Amino acid sequence: MRLRKVIYAAALATLFVSGCAANNKEVVEAETSVEAPVEDLTKVTLAGNEVSVPIKVSDIVDMGFTLESTDMETIGFNQDCVGYFKSPDGAMLIANIGVQEGEGLTPEEGYAFDVLEDIGNTQGDGVLSVYGGISISSSVEEVEAVYGEPTFNDGSDKLYYKIIGDAAYSDMVCVAVIDDKVKRVEVCNAKEFKEIPVATPSDSE
């Protein structure tokens, strides 16, 4: 996915300027903490509203957000566009938007299946909280009370996540920390919007 760069060890390097690729620090990989029910992992609080990802774009608009812009005019199944939302008080939210079937549909007809807030792209207003009530304003101690030890840790940059369902879709709740401050929270639940290619014998030759 074009927007989501916070996945796995290589993602730390692309998200964090001082990440592991930049300073050649050793990345310590930890086991993810005990799995939670999918229905709990997909729940978020968005501008005070409890909803589950994926979220209809129209429902986000009904919460008072404006879809300011998208990078595609129409979308179909297995496609997604990046949408930028703004709340009445100026809080920003970024989402990958897709549809479950069809083609030539507008983003306004779709679902936000990947929602995020981070410091740098969205001002970090705390409009989004993810599993465990974690938001941009949470402390590292609060994050670790819910997620356990970081999945990836190079000392100053840490990545915490919980897998949602089938790992083949890279669906997860993700919390990124830089220098002991939460810098990004994100939930992706793309299974209904993406087609995962099935490997054939020729693919591995």
List the pLDDT tens digit at each of the 205 positions of the chain: 444 433 333 344 344 332 222 233 333 334 444 467 778 999 999 989 999 999 999 999 999 999 999 999 999 999 989 999 998 888 889 999 999 999 999 999 999 999 999 887 666 678 899 999 999 999 999 999 999 999 999 888 999 989 988 666 679 999 999 999 999 999 999 989 988 755 555 544 4
pLDDT digits (tens, 9 = 90+) for 72-108: 999 999 998 999 999 888 888 999 999 999 999 999 9
Q: What is the rounded distance in angstroms from the CA atom of residue 71 to the CA atom of residue 122?
A: 16
8 A C-beta contact, residue 82 and residue 70: yes
In DSSP terms, 85 is beta-bridged to: 67, 93
Q: What is the rounded distance in angstroms from the CA atom of residue 45 to the CA atom of residue 191?
A: 21
Both tokens of residue 60? 């986000």
Q: What is the rounded distance in angstroms from the CA atom of residue 152 to the CA atom of residue 177?
A: 10
Q: Which residues contact 143 (CB under 8 A, 6 or more apart)?
A: 132, 134, 160, 175, 177, 182
Please give the pLDDT value at position 198: 56
Please give the pLDDT value at position 156: 85
Please give the pLDDT value at position 31: 44
Q: What is the rounded distance in angstroms from the CA atom of residue 141 to the CA atom of residue 67?
A: 34
8 A C-beta contact, residue 128 and residue 115: yes
CA 74 vs. chain centroid, Å, equals 22
Both tokens of residue 179? 């220098």
SS3 141: helix
8 A C-beta contact, residue 176 and residue 158: yes
